[in-house]
């Protein structure tokens, strides 16, 4: 089930076949679609669409192109429209210095005024931004500063990494349109890879910018699947993974649809099945949200109690369906070593492949070298090194007080020991952390241990 977060189905390009187009969207699995207002008239038409179709929602706002036409009672009209229960955001608003259909100072003035209205009404905004990066960042930063906020959506994102990072830091979601499927859009695909799963959307912006393989044709909401498929591909995921997270994001931002239910014991990402044994951990990494927002790729890993080995095993439908079964490292699995051993044995007996994701504290936690016990049970182990020295590790990983100063060396020993008992070993770091020298980490992993090195951005592929 897909969501088209940005459509203009009210435009006259659909006058001949609007109903059929909407039906095709439904037939192709579009679960919700947001029709976007660009001025008072199109906002009004968007609202009317929502009254005919349950699954359509609307926004109201004045596009930067149209700010020159704003007059005396425009804002009064906007307020009335925004009061409608199916108008879920204010927009699209912003700056367009590419076309410059309205003078730039007029665009800036009404961008600010509309942001202020959105703030007053507590609505997210839909942003249109083209060739206006500096002014965009400077205006938004006067109003938004919470990276966990629900500021709104940057629609049809087509700018650079700096603007994407700034938008995320101000609590925006990033939505990609058909442009991300275009042949020459490698830069954009690079950026799409870096957007956290819980901040990502897809859209059509129809009738414009149809994605490949329909490029050049009139676009329509049913085509949003092509954009989602491309996003999944560049992120190394299946389209189902992207659909699930976007549905959850839609719920988080607008309160529409369903939230993820807690208590997930096993969950699929790509062709891997992950097992969630615990939310406890002997670290408290600065980037970890397992206690505040325990959502990974659209699954809610909050547990009101830890599952037994039998419950974990029962949650696996068929080990052979998956490339691997992974004891997940969101919460430290070696705190439940007995469960790992019991379930891993069953997986191996049934012909499956086992990976363990761990913070490498297992020997200290269990007060013995646990690696010989994992021999033959674990095919691959992935250990978070996360820093190039002990002080930096303690800063980033915030281990238990009794672990500080000593745990980093223990992790290194754990990596070295792993090589003796486990066929595939990799060490990981989370990138973009202050205090962490990524090049040095890579050197340690490759030269000192000769194991695989994997830098990852947090919450990108789970
Ligand atoms: S080791 Fe993993 S689960 Fe533990 S705090 Fe760090 S990121 Fe979170
Ligand atoms: Zn736009
Ligand atoms: Zn638009």
N-to-C CA span, the chain? 21
Mean pLDDT computed over every residue of the chain: 95
**Ligand 3 centroid to residue 8 C-alpha, Å:** 7
285 lines ligand 1 (CB under 6 A): yes
Region of 418 please: left (phi>0), alpha (psi -120 to 50) or beta: alpha
Nearest residue (by CA) to ligand 1, atom 6, is: 285
How far apart, in whole angstroms, are the C-alpha atoms of residue 90 and residue 121?
9
* Cα 87 to ligand 1 centroid, rounded to whole Å: 39
Among candidates 274, 178, 272, which has minimal Cα distance to 231?
178
> Using a 6 Å cutoff on CB, does residue 359 contact ligand 1?
yes
pLDDT greater than 90 at residue 433? no
Q: Is 154 in contact with 174 (CB distance < 8 Å)? A: yes
| Mean pLDDT within 25-37 | 97
Q: Whose CA is closest to 151, among 182, 176, 118?
A: 118
Phi/psi of residue 45, each to 5°? -65, -35
The yes-or-no verdict on residue 20 having pLDDT over 50 is yes
Q: Rounded CA gap, 370 and 365, in Å?
A: 10
Q: What is the mean pLDDT of residues 196-225?
A: 96
415 C-alpha to ligand 1 centroid (Å): 17
Q: What is the distance of C-alpha 447 from the center of its chain?
A: 33
DSSP 8-state assignment for residue 316: -
Residue 423, φ and ψ in degrees, nearest 5: -60, -40
**100 Cα: distance to centroid of ligand 1 (angstroms):** 48
Looking up tokens 């096993």 gives 266
Backbone CA torsion sign across 353, 358, 360, 364: negative
pLDDT in tens, 397-428: 999 999 999 999 999 999 999 999 999 999 99
**Which residues contact residue 106 at a Cβ distance below 8 angstroms, ignoring those fewer than 6 apart?**
67, 68
Q: What pLDDT, on a 0 to 100 scale, did the predictor assign at position 292?
A: 86
pLDDT band, very low/low/confident/very high, at 457 (cuts 50, 70, 90): confident
Surrounding residues of ion ligand 2, Cβ less than 5 A:
92, 128
Tell me the ligand closest to 361's alpha carbon.
1
Residue 461 has pLDDT above 60, yes or no: no
Q: Which residue among 274, 279, 280, 283 has the greatest number of ligand 1 atoms within 8 angstroms of its CB, and so is best to mutate?
A: 283
Q: For residue 284, which atom of ligand 1 is closest to its CA?
A: 5
Domains of the chain by range and CATH? Answer: 2-254 (3.20.20.140), 266-456 (3.20.20.70)
pLDDT tens-digit series, residues 124-158:
999 999 999 999 999 999 999 999 999 999 999 99
User: At 272, is the secondary structure helix, strand, or coil?
Assistant: strand
220 lines ligand 1 (CB under 6 A): no
Task: Answer whether 175 contacts ligand 1 (Cβ < 6 A).
Answer: no
For the Cβ of 360 lying below 6 angstroms from any atom of ligand 1, the answer is no
Q: Is the CB of 335 under 6 A from ligand 1?
A: no
Token representation of residue 374: 């994992």
Stretch among 44-53, 385-394, 434-443 having the lowest mean pLDDT: 434-443
Where residue 460 falls among pLDDT bands split at 50, 70, 90?
Answer: low
Mutate to test the pocket of ligand 1, among 278, 384, 428 (most ligand atoms within 8 A of CB): 384
Ligand 1: residue whose CA is nearest its atom 5: 284
Index of the ligand 1 atom closest to the CA of residue 397: 6
> What confidence tens digit (pLDDT) does each residue in 309-368 have?
999 999 999 999 999 999 998 899 999 999 999 999 999 999 999 999 999 999 999 999
Atom of ligand 1 nearest to the CA of 282: 4
Give the pLDDT of residue 329. 82
**Alpha carbon nearest to ligand 1 atom 7, residue:** 288
Site to substitute for ligand 1 among 278, 281, 361, 365, most atoms within 8 A of C-beta = 281
Contact 189, 227 (CB under 8 A): no
Ligand in closest contact with the CA of 285: 1
Q: Answer whether residue 219 shows pLDDT above 70.
A: yes
- pLDDT above 50 for 462: no
CB of 290 closer than 6 angstroms to any ligand 1 atom: yes
Q: Tell me, what's the pLDDT at 456?
A: 84
91-115 tens-digit pLDDT: 999 999 999 999 999 999 999 999 9
């Amino acid at each position: 089930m897909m969501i088209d977060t940005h459509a203009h189905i009210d435009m006259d390009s659909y006058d001949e076949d609007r109903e059929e187009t909407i039906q095709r969207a439904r037939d192709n699995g579009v679960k919700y679609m947001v029709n976007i207002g660009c001025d008072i008239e199109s906002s009004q038409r968007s609202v009317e669409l929502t009254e005919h179709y349950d699954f359509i929602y609307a926004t109201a706002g004045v596009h930067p192109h149209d700010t020159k036409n704003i007059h005396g009672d425009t804002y009064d009209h906007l307020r009335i429209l925004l009061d409608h229960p199916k108008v879920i955001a204010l927009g699209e608003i912003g700056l367009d210095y590419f076309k410059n259909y309205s003078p730039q100072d007029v665009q800036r003035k009404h961008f600010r005024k509309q942001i202020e209205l959105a703030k007053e009404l507590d609505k997210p905004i839909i942003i249109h931004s083209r060739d206006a990066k500096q002014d965009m960042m400077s205006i938004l930063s006067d109003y938004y500063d919470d990276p966990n906020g629900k500021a709104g959506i940057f629609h049809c994102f087509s700018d650079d990494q700096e603007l994407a990072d700034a938008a995320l830091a101000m609590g925006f979601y990033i939505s990609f349109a058909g442009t991300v499927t275009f042949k020459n859009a490698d830069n954009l695909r690079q950026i799409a890879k870096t957007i956290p799963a819980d901040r990502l959307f897809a859209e059509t912006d129809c009738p414009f910018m149809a994605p490949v393989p329909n490029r050049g044709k009139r676009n329509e909401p049913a085509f949003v699947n092509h954009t989602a498929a491309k996003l999944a591909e560049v992120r190394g995921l299946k389209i189902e993974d992207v659909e699930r997270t976007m549905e959850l994001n839609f719920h988080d931002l607008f309160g529409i649809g369903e939230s993820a239910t807690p208590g997930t014991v096993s969950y699929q990402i790509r062709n891997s099945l992950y097992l969630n044994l615990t939310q406890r951990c002997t670290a408290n990494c600065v980037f970890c949200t397992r206690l505040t927002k325990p959502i990974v790729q659209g699954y809610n890993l909050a547990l009101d109690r830890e599952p037994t080995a039998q419950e974990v095993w029962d949650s696996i439908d068929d080990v052979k369906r998956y490339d691997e079964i992974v004891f997940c490292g969101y919460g430290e699995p070696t705190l439940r070593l007995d469960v790992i051993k019991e379930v891993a044995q069953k997986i191996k007996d049934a012909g499956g492949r086992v990976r363990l994701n761990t913070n490498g504290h297992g020997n200290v936690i269990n007060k013995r070298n646990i690696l010989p016990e994992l021999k033959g049970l674990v095919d691959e182990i992935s250990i978070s090194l996360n820093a190039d020295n002990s002080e930096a590790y303690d800063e980033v990983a915030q281990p238990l007080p009794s672990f500080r100063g000593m745990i980093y060396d223990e992790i290194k020993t754990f990596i070295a020991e792993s090589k003796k008992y486990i066929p595939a070993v990799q060490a990981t770091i989370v990138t973009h952390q202050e205090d962490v020298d990524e090049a040095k980490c890579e050197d340690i992993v490759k030269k000192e241990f000769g194991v695989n090195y994997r830098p990852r951005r947090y919450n990108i592929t789970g």
